[in-house]
Amino acid sequence: MAKVAKMHELPVVFSAADQGPIGPIGPIMPEITEIFPDAPIIYRTKINSWHDPNFRAAIEATGRKQIIIAGIDASFCQGLPAKSMVADGYEVWSCIDCSGNISPITQATTIANLTQAGVRCSNWVAGFTPMGSVGHY
């Protein structure tokens, strides 16, 4: 997904817990940040990254209204901001296969929950052709 985003020159914004690389989740995967060395990393202070003013400002600065989102956990890390962004008028594509989940049933309920909230759930190959998108990893 990261390589496709790079190929299409999509703007990328990273977010991580405010403890940064020393926090419980650790650093953002270097295999991804090496592809986007200039992408901002927002060390957020809110559980829902969309509620962090620095993250929101970074997304708004891209000028894009279509968002592709992935996270460590589909239901939490990317699910919370995805639903919030949809509520604020964004078209959000959730990359399910680029995000983890704790069990198959959790993943199934996450997809249902996100879809009911207006998030478009797909995988990195099938769903990410909108050229006006911004990636959030």
- DSSP for 107-127, please give it: HHHHHHHHHHTT-EEE-TTTS
Specify whether the CB–CB gap between 107 and 74 falls below 8 A. yes
Look at residue 111 in the predicted model and tell me its pLDDT: 92
3-state SS, residue 130:
coil
Tokens, residue 82? 């995805």
Look at residue 43 in the predicted model and tell me its pLDDT: 87
Look at residue 31 in the predicted model and tell me its pLDDT: 92
Look at residue 8 in the predicted model and tell me its pLDDT: 86
Residues with catalytic function: 77
pLDDT tens by residue, the chain, 137 residues? 888 889 889 999 998 877 666 666 777 888 999 999 999 888 888 889 999 999 999 999 999 999 999 888 888 888 999 999 999 999 999 988 888 888 889 889 999 999 999 999 988 776 555 444 455 54
Look at residue 128 in the predicted model and tell me its pLDDT: 56
Upper half-sphere CA count for residue 122 (Cβ side, 13 Å): 15
**Which contiguous run of DSSP H or E holds residue 13?**
strand 12-17
